[in-house]
Amino acid sequence: MAYLKPTWLARKFSSIMAEANVAEKLTVTGRVSGNPRQVAVTSVDVNGVKYLVSTRGESQWVKNVRANPEVTLTVKGKSTVYVAAEVPVQERAPVIAAFRPILGKLVVGRYFAKLPADADHPVFALAPPSP
């Protein structure tokens, strides 16, 4: 699967946004270290379901979620635990279509120009953990 590696500046910016609670912050468990890893993300709600879309393809957070699907999403200081389930490629189009306008053409457009297929962008549906 394709991956667009972020520049040092992009990684630093994401880190600052996550720490400042300006962006949504995804906390995952590192698949090798077992330590918490955080990244700024943008979720999208489609038909009452919250989704995460990886704009850069098979990123580290994607690999970590596949290894351990229990994640925490923090929005404006409020953290919620979810279980992430990867959406099959053939079901991603409506989620990606809803996601793209949220970040705008400038931010997302360049990633989707380089990775145009829905298969290039892992999508995860978030659901509350089972009791």
Residue 2 lies in a domain: no
- In the prediction, which pLDDT does 125 show? 98
Residue 1 lies in a domain: no
- In the prediction, which pLDDT does 10 show? 58
98: domain CATH number?
2.30.110.10
Number of domains in the chain: 1
- For residue 73, what are the domain limits? 8-127
- In the prediction, which pLDDT does 66 show? 97
pTM: predicted TM-score of the whole model, two decimal places: 0.84
- In the prediction, which pLDDT does 14 show? 57
Per-10-residue mean pLDDT of the chain, 131 residues long, equals: 58 54 84 93 95 91 97 93 98 94 73 85 95 80
Residue 121 lies in a domain: yes
- In the prediction, which pLDDT does 101 show? 87
Residue 25 lies in a domain: yes
DSSP labels, the chain = --B-PPPHHHHHHHHHHHHTTSSEEEEEE-TTT--EEEEEE-EEEETTEEEEE-TTBS-HHHHHHHH--EEEEEETTEEEEEEEEEPPGGG-HHHHHHHHHHHHHHHHHHHHHHS-SGGGS-EEEEEPPP-
Residue 38 lies in a domain: yes
Residue 3 lies in a domain: no
Residue 33 lies in a domain: yes
Residue 27 lies in a domain: yes
